[in-house]
């Protein structure tokens, strides 16, 4: 059995459109190029190529019948244009991550910007810029990057879980608690049953000094995953702190809203 997904390369899609009316009407063929991955025996994913020949934008899943009937393989295009562009993009991202890990923030930022010049919707590069802005304590720049991330649904997918976690840690470490809460709130809009996001939200609230909000998030996490050991320990620690506060009101638990899993 093959291991999916399988990268199939670049395929073209030709569509005929009519322009003009009456006697001046004419038909014109428009050709677009798509990056294709096979997700299963009968399932394919197509993503449009941008002007720099790299996949960028909304991915769409289609069945084998539609794919085989309408998409045509373009191996020469893939080899000549897309492979070199993707190689350059991956190089920029790797250099950016390496420079960031070495504390060379300005140089890392330049590499992430170069990556975004190739693919302006690149999730990893956007996360990279966000980490740089957070480390630089540049609130205005961080807010701009965060706004971009919040509009990239793909940034909250399982594929980018490592970058998601790393960015959240950077926000908390640099005391950007409000932005951390915004970030995790967006993740919960897309999946309201992720106990780990509630746990991370609780950490942001705790470090912000909002104990009640912290405990509320931990209770929700435990309502989803009762055996979540770290959440149990954290909640017990919070309860101990709270018990030492005179006249504290009980913490209410808001149930998780319905969301996409």
Predicted confidence at residue 261, as pLDDT, reads 38
Is 169 within 8 Å of 181 (Cβ atoms)?
Answer: no
Fold of 191-261: 1.25.40
**pLDDT reading at 215 higher than 50:** yes
Cα 147 to chain centroid distance, Å, stands at 12
Whole-angstrom distance, CA of residue 190 vs CA of residue 51: 30
Q: Output the pTM of the full model.
A: 0.84
Q: pLDDT tens-digit profile of 47-60?
A: 999 999 999 989 99
pLDDT in tens, 127-173: 999 999 999 999 999 999 999 999 999 999 999 999 999 999 999 99
Q: Do domains 75-187 and 191-261 have the same CATH topology?
A: yes
Q: Between 250 and 183, name the one with better pLDDT.
A: 183
More confident residue, 86 or 17: 86
Q: How far apart are CA 186 and CA 149, in angstroms?
A: 10
Give CA–CA dist 152/102, Å, rounded.
Answer: 27
pLDDT tens digit sequence for 85-114: 999 999 999 999 999 999 999 999 999 999
The set of long-range contacts for 205-210, using a CB threshold of 8 Å and a minimum separation of 24, is 205/177, 205/181, 206/234, 206/238, 207/172, 207/175, 207/177, 208/177, 208/178, 208/181
pLDDT over threshold 80, residue 255: no
The domain spans of the chain are 1-73, 75-187, 191-261
CATH topology of domain 75-187: 1.25.40
Question: Using only C-alpha atoms, what is the Rg of the chain?
Answer: 23
Higher pLDDT, 256 or 65: 65
Q: Is the pLDDT of residue 257 over 60?
A: no
- Contacts of 140 by beta carbon, 8 Å cutoff, 6+ apart: none
* N residues, the chain: 261
30: three-class secondary structure by DSSP: strand
């Amino acid at each position: 059995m093959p291991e999916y997904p399988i990268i199939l390369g670049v395929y073209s899609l030709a569509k005929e459109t009519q322009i003009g009316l009456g006697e001046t009407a004419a038909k014109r063929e428009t050709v677009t190029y798509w990056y294709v991955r096979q997700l299963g025996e009968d399932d394919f994913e197509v993503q449009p190529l941008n002007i720099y020949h790299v996949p960028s934008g909304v991915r769409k899943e289609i069945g084998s019948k539609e794919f085989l009937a309408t998409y045509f393989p373009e191996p020469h295009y893939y080899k000549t244009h897309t492979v070199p562009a993707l190689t350059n993009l991956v190089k920029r991202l790797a250099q950016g991550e390496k420079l960031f890990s070495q504390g060379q923030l300005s140089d890392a930022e330049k590499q992430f910007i170069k990556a975004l010049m190739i693919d302006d919707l690149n999730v990893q590069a956007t996360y990279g810029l966000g980490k740089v802005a957070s480390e630089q304590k540049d609130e205005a720049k961080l807010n701009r990057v965060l706004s971009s991330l919040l509009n990239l649904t793909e940034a909250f997918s399982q594929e980018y879980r490592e970058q998601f976690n790393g960015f959240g840690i950077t926000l908390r470490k640099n005391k950007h608690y409000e932005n951390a809460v915004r970030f995790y709130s967006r993740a919960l809009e897309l999946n309201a049953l992720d106990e780990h996001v509630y746990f991370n939200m609780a950490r942001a609230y705790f470090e912000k000094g909002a104990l009640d909000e912290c405990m509320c998030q931990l209770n929700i996490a435990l309502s989803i995953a009762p055996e979540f050991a770290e959440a149990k320990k954290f909640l017990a620690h919070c309860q101990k702190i709270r018990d030492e506060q005179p006249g504290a009101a009980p913490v209410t638990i808001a149930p998780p809203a319905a969301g996409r899993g």
